[in-house]
Structures are given as C-alpha cells and as structure tokens.
C-alpha cells in the first residue's frame, strides 16, 4: 500500500474514530434533532462538564460538528447530516448479531 493510500485510510479512520464512543454517538444522534448547548448534553449524559466538552472537541476536530457561542452558552450542531446514515447500518449489524447469538444458544 503506497503512502497516499495509507493517508487516505488514516483520514477516514479519524472521522470514524471520533464517533467510536457511546457518549459521542449519543451526542451526534441528539444533535441530529437540533442544536444543543453543552449543559444540555451534560444533563442528558450525566458526566462532568469537562468530559462533555472534550468529547465535543473531538467531534469538532473531526469536522462532524460546529460550535457557536451565544451569551454564556455554546451551542453545537451537526455539520454533515449524512452522519445519520451510520445508525441504520449499525442497527442492521446489531440485529444480525442478535440473531447469531440466539442461533448459537440454540446449538
């Protein structure tokens, strides 16, 4: 694999990696319903606000969300809506896994 191809997969992996955490996945899902401030996400997820803030900056660095400060609050919103397509397919995998599990148990 040449250097350029390798870099292309590294770039793609960085975007996917940004979503590869339960809290960040929840944030993306929640932001798909509209913008949310950091404190709203903190209330929903229930972690320290510094933890929430760092997760959001991971999503921001990956180019998945954008932020906008208004008054005291910082609102985040999705930058690329197609991210939601992920959920449907991930759900398909999970359904297939559930089937596999029950088939394994029956054996």
Partner DNA sequence: TCATTACTTGGTTATTTTGCCAACAAGCAA
Partner DNA sequence: TTGCTTGTTGGCAAAATAACCAAGTAATGA
Applying CB under 7 A, which residues contact DNA?
A: 17, 20-21, 23, 37-39, 42, 47-58, 67, 69, 71-75
Q: For a copy of itself, how many residues bind (rule: CB under 8 A)?
A: 42
Q: What does 42 interact with, of a copy of itself, DNA, none (CB < 5 to 8 A by kind)?
A: DNA
Question: Within 54-83, which residues bind a copy of itself (CB under 8 A)?
Answer: 62-64, 79-80, 82-83
Does residue 4 bind a copy of itself (CB under 8 A)?
no
Among 46, 48, 53, 57, binds a copy of itself (CB under 8 A): 46
Q: What does 58 interact with, of a copy of itself, DNA, none (CB < 5 to 8 A by kind)?
A: DNA
Angle between helices 22-31 and 3-19 (to 10 degrees): 80
């Amino acid at each position: 694999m040449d250097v350029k191809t390798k870099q292309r997969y590294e770039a793609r992996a960085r975007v996917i990696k940004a979503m590869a955490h339960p809290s960040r996945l929840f944030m993306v899902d929640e932001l798909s319903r509209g913008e949310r401030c950091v404190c709203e996400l903190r209330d929903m997820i229930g972690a320290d606000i510094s933890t929430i803030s760092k997760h959001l900056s991971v999503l921001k660095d990956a180019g998945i969300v954008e932020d906008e400060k208004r008054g005291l609050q910082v609102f985040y919103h999705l930058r690329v809506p197609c991210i939601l397509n992920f959920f449907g397919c991930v759900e398909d995998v999970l359904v297939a896994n559930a089937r596999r599990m029950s088939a394994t148990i029956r054996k």
